[in-house]
Amino acid sequence: MVSSSWVQEEVLKALPEATVEVIDLHGSGDHFHVRVISESFEGMRPLQRQRKILDVMKAHIPHPIHALDLKCMTPQQAQTAGETAFDPHGNGQGIHRHRLQRLKEEKQ
């Protein structure tokens, strides 16, 4: 189990100038949604962008990090991206986090 701030620091080792947002999807310290925003992604394909991050993070997968949902975007893309977090365990099928929250609120 690791903390969101630990994940953030690790990602920053790969791209020190990036903006890094980390969500601990289950509060269990092993499933994370990570949004990385960097000017340096401009002109790179999605996999090239992720490889920059994975070069550092792959040492931590599958332990202690079991799941890493990565969104790598340029500042321009981030402006229009909206909510990107995705929970892979919602009803066992994967569901967007916002919807999960809404369902919980509707039940209450």
Partner 1 sequence: MNWTPEELQAIIDEHDVVLFMKGTPSEPQCGFSNRAAQVIQQLGVEFAAVNVLSDARAIPSICAWSDFPTMPQVFINGELIGGSDIALEMLQDGSLKEMLDAGRQ
Residues 34-53 binding partner 1 (CB under 8 A) are 46-47, 50
Establish if 21 lies at the interface with partner 1 (CB under 8 A). no
Establish if 103 lies at the interface with partner 1 (CB under 8 A). no
Pairwise CA distance, residues 11 & 7, whole Å: 6
Single residue of 94, 98, 102, 103 touching partner 1 by CB under 8 A: 94
In the bound state with partner 1, the residue whose beta carbon lies nearer, of 29 and 88, is: 88
Q: Which of helix, strand or coil describes residue 105?
A: helix
Token pair recorded at residue 10: 């690790």
In the bound state with partner 1, the residue whose beta carbon lies nearer, of 46 and 75, is: 46
The secondary structure of residue 98, as a DSSP letter, is: H
C-alpha pair distances (Å), 5 with each of 22, 52, 104: 8, 19, 27
Token pair recorded at residue 60: 């931590």
Query: What residues make contact with partner 1 under the rule CB under 8 A?
Result: 46-47, 50, 54, 57-58, 61-62, 67-71, 86-90, 92-95
